[in-house]
């Protein structure tokens, strides 16, 4: 399979008042077309920074990202992002949120009727056609995230970047969304990079799991190839020995090799996550 995205020896250094802070060092990863990659690691290890560099929102200090052999240095719709907090525009309906993206990307190639059809098709894909004309305030957290995914898919991206897309959802909704995502993935065969905290999610969805070491100067610790046949069924896999083996490999990386000692004086990250949950509720 051909390499679509080449993350080539990325370093990321943030200047701080106390001196430079090296967030990432030597992150190197090649991704094939149609591959589903999960980035997993403890909070603060720079997963989001990697994603933001691929998205073009941040610029790597050294090294670079090649998409189809072209260097990436600004954001663009061919690298669509699904943000953690859905980030739908609250003054637009679901339809209009997707429309904004479609109008921007397909302004020259589609006429009005085609755009309309394409928007409805994408909302249909995430099973949101019933709430097309509702505003984000009027739909649940899971539904918002669906619209966020529809918006990203509607850009027909070369690569889909997802920053903890289901992190703020409750467990049942999350499972439902994961199944939907697998369904869509089977149909469209997108290339996906997904950040996650959730070991089960990573094993269930991914072709490869990229495990990152703790920061500062975080980098790729291990890469686990997940060779489970698709379509995958979460209930059947729960009994599957290979599945559980993959699971325990990721767990042992996270909690034995890269065990994070959280001191009581740094409860910041916990506060943050509880805040995002409050927002959703």
Partner 1 sequence: MTTISKKLASNTSGISFKSLSMANDSMKNVLLPLIGVACFLVIWAIAASNIQTSLGQFPGPSHVMEQFGTLYQEHVAERDKATSFYERQEKRNAERVAKDPNYQPKTRAYTGKETFIDQIFTSLTTVLSGFILAAIVAIPLGIAIGLSKSLNTAINPIIQIFKPVSPLAWLPLVTMVVSAVYTTSDPMFAKSFIVSLVTVTLCCLWPMVINTSVGVSSINADWVNVSKVLSLPSWVHIRRIVLPAAVPSIFVGMRMSIGIAWMVLIAAEMLAQNPGLGKFVWDEFQNGSSQSLSRIMAAVIVIGLIGFLLDRSMLSLQRILSWDKDSAKR
Residue ranges in contact with partner 1 by CB under 8 A: 55-57, 74-77, 79-81, 83, 85, 87, 89-91, 100-101, 104-105, 135, 137, 155
Least Å distance between CB 76 and partner 1? 5
Least Å distance between CB 135 and partner 1? 7
By beta-carbon proximity to partner 1, the closer residue of 80 and 123 is: 80
Kindly state the tokens that stand for 56.
């073009």
Question: Burial, 72: exposed, middle or buried (Cβ in 10 Å; 0-12, 13-18, 19+)?
Answer: buried
Least Å distance between CB 116 and partner 1? 18
By beta-carbon proximity to partner 1, the closer residue of 119 and 204 is: 119
**Alpha-carbon span 97 to 274, nearest angstrom:** 27
3-state secondary structure string across 190-233: CEEEEEECCHHHHHHHCCEEEEECCCCCECEEEEEECCCCCCCC
Question: Burial, 22: exposed, middle or buried (Cβ in 10 Å; 0-12, 13-18, 19+)?
Answer: middle
Least Å distance between CB 80 and partner 1? 7
**Alpha-carbon span 103 to 98, nearest angstrom:** 9
By beta-carbon proximity to partner 1, the closer residue of 104 and 244 is: 104
By beta-carbon proximity to partner 1, the closer residue of 160 and 224 is: 160
Kindly state the tokens that stand for 186.
């089977």
Least Å distance between CB 7 and partner 1? 18
By beta-carbon proximity to partner 1, the closer residue of 78 and 240 is: 78
């Amino acid at each position: 399979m051909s390499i679509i995205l080449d993350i080539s020896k990325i370093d990321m250094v943030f200047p701080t008042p106390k001196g430079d802070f090296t967030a990432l060092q030597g992150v190197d990863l090649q991704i094939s077309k149609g591959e589903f990659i999960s980035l997993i690691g403890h909070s603060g290890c720079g997963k989001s920074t990697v994603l933001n560099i691929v998205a073009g929102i941040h610029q790597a200090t050294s090294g670079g990202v090649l998409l189809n052999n072209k260097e990436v240095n600004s954001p663009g719709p061919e690298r669509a992002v699904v943000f953690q907090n859905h980030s739908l525009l609250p003054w637009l309906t679901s339809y209009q949120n997707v429309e904004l993206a479609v109008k921007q990307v397909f302004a020259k190639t589609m006429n009005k009727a085609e755009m309309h059809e394409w928007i409805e098709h994408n909302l249909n894909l995430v099973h949101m056609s019933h709430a097309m004309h509702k505003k984000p305030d009027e739909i649940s957290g899971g539904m918002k995230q669906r619209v966020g995914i529809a918006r990203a898919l509607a850009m027909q991206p070369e690569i889909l970047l997802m920053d903890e897309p289901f992190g703020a959802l409750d467990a049942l909704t999350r499972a439902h969304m994961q199944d939907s995502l697998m369904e869509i993935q089977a149909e469209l065969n997108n290339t996906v990079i997904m950040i996650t905290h959730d070991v089960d999610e990573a094993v269930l969805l991914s072709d490869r799991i990229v495990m990152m070491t703790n920061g500062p100067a975080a980098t790729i610790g291990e890469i686990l190839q997940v060779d489970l046949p698709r379509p995958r069924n979460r209930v059947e896999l729960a009994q599957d020995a290979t599945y559980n083996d993959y699971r325990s490999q990721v767990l042992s990386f996270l909690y034995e090799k890269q065990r994070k000692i959280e001191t009581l004086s740094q409860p910041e990250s916990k506060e943050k996550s509880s805040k995002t949950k409050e927002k959703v509720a």
